[in-house]
């Protein structure tokens, strides 16, 4: 039962809407927790797709060839943002976007994709995931490593990893230590397919943390 509960928690963590909670909670117990940032990857029935990122009372819309920010406006029906002829409304995973030249309705958030977009907007350079047990790894600032392993039960952080690259083998090896923990990350530039979702990635990834090994797939985000 504990194993199932851990898997369920990790599944929600990596497949739910990507977000960071605000540091402070409202003193009014009846008010919901304020969401600081939240990222969505919308796919519309007409083939249009875009990323939306909410920050306090502003939404940033990353549209094909254009990025705009819209302030939030008061509304009793869903969350609405509007400025300069652009209008965006979201309710749950469904959204619509309107401009002076186009209207896209029925757009649905792709939760799995939103996780990767959220990491990218947070400055993550490379991200990888694997299964059984579920884990994910993020490399930021070129050499900082975050590993969340065993369905979220264990978290490791490493700063200033050393990097060895072999151009001929298309392989990069990261090594770091922190408070008695050691990690080695081997990234190989060969096609990789997720063992559960079937999603295709550009790199194979092997992680050895202390004496535990994890294998999966990943890709560069920048």
When pLDDT is cut at 50, 70 and 90, the band that residue 168 belongs to is confident
Residue with tokens 């039962």: 1
| Mean of pLDDT over the chain | 87
pLDDT at 167: 87
pLDDT at 32: 45
Query: Are the beta carbons of 106 and 44 closer than 8 angstroms?
Result: yes
Please check the confidence at residue 8 and state whether its pLDDT lies above 70: no
When pLDDT is cut at 50, 70 and 90, the band that residue 74 belongs to is confident
Query: What is the Cα–Cα distance from 205 to 215, expressed in whole angstroms?
Result: 6
pLDDT at 17: 54
Query: What is the Cα–Cα distance from 20 to 1, expressed in whole angstroms?
Result: 28
- The tokens for 37 are 């940032």
Residue with tokens 């749950």: 92
Please check the confidence at residue 65 and state whether its pLDDT lies above 80: yes
Give CA angle at 86 (81, 88), nearest 5°: 40
Query: Are the beta carbons of 184 and 103 closer than 8 angstroms?
Result: no
Residue with tokens 């947070």: 122
Please check the confidence at residue 22 and state whether its pLDDT lies above 70: no
Q: With 0.75 as the threshold, say if the pTM is over it.
A: yes
Query: Are the beta carbons of 137 and 127 closer than 8 angstroms?
Result: yes
When pLDDT is cut at 50, 70 and 90, the band that residue 146 belongs to is very high
Query: What is the Cα–Cα distance from 203 to 16, expressed in whole angstroms?
Result: 24
């Amino acid at each position: 039962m504990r194993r199932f509960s851990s898997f369920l928690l990790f599944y929600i963590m990596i497949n739910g809407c990507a977000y960071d909670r605000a540091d402070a909670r409202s003193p009014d117990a009846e008010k919901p927790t304020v969401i600081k940032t939240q990222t969505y990857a919308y796919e519309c029935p007409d083939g249009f797709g875009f990323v939306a990122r909410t920050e306090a009372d502003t939404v940033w819309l990353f549209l094909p060839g254009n990025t705009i920010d819209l302030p939030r406006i008061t509304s009793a029906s869903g969350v609405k943002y509007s400025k300069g002829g652009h209008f965006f409304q979201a309710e749950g995973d469904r959204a619509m976007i309107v401009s002076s030249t186009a209207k896209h309705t029925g757009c649905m958030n792709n939760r799995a994709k939103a996780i990767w977009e959220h990491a990218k907007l947070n400055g993550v350079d490379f991200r990888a995931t694997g299964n059984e047990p579920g884990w994910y790894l993020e490399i930021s600032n070129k050499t900082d490593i975050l590993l969340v392993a065993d369905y979220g039960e264990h978290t490791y952080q490493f700063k200033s990893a050393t990097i060895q690259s072999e151009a001929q083998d298309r392989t990069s090896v990261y090594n770091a230590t922190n408070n008695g923990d050691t990690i080695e990350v081997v990234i190989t530039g060969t096609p990789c397919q997720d063992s559960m979702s079937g999603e295709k990635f550009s790199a194979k990834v092997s992680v050895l943390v202390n004496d535990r090994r994890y294998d999966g797939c990943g890709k560069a985000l920048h």
